[in-house]
Amino acid sequence: MFIDTHMHEMTCSKDSFLKLEQMVEIAREKGLGAICITDHDDMGLKEYAEEYAEKTGFPIFVGIEFFSLQGDIIAFGIEEYPDERIPAQEFIDLVKSQGGFCFAAHPFRNNNRGLEENLRTVRGLDGLEVLNGSTSVAACQKAARYAQEIGLCTMGSSDCHVPEKVGVCATWFPEEIRTMEEFLEALKKGGMKPAYYEDGSYHILEVQEYGNGYPEIGF
């Protein structure tokens, strides 16, 4: 099953041009089994997303992309989150105290919003985004090398803000997932792999090869 694990909807992410209905429509067309709404420092879409998921029968999981003092972190399975920027370690600790799962978003993007070398010092991070459809291939490949070195789960996602980016990258899960409880259980179990969309279907990426510079893909 393929899930886009990092997406932005315009209601709460003001830099997005996407409505939830459009995101679900494109996701279905591409063969995604579910999507994740991870708006900037906000989980305000949660109630509506749950209602829309029930109405359409298409799973939608709401998390958050939190801009910590050291960089962006995606989190799922939390109810409380800070209303101001705090250190990355404090946010990770907050996520873990609520039984959640968190991964570093685009850690080496050249906009000072990635954890970068802080990946080596923070504790408790579960995963690392090694495919981000809105980040350069070189930066993603560097993230893949760090994921192997540190031993973190590897995630893929579009980080979409516009229609053409929906689902360009995703995460493959070895089981079918329908509920947030199942999603969290699968995340914590591990075994996920990043994937990219090309020629009408998803292709699972072997991180070791990708981290070494192969294959060259575009998204």
Instruction: Provide the pLDDT confidence category of residue 24 given band limits of 50, 70 and 90.
Output: very high
**Per-residue model confidence as pLDDT tens digits over 104-160:** 999 999 998 999 999 999 999 999 999 999 999 999 999 999 999 999 999 999 999
For the chain, domains (ranges, CATH) are 2-211 (3.20.20.140)
pLDDT given for residue 78 in this prediction: 98
Could you tell me which of 145, 141, 124 has the C-alpha nearest to residue 188?
124
Average pLDDT, the chain: 95
Helix (H, G, I), strand (E, B) or coil at 196: strand
Answer whether the bond into residue 174 is a cis peptide, omega within 30°.
no
Could you tell me which of 94, 87, 93, 90 has the C-alpha nearest to residue 71?
87
Q: Residue 158 corresponds to which tokens in the numbers above?
A: 């579009």
Q: How many Cα atoms within 13 Å fall on the side-chain side of residue 25?
A: 7
The CA-based angle 211-150-80, given to 5 degrees, is: 110
- Run of H or E including 128: strand 127-132
Mean pLDDT of 18-43: 98
Supply the pTM of this predicted model: 0.96
pLDDT given for residue 207 in this prediction: 82
Beta bridge partners of 35: 4, 60
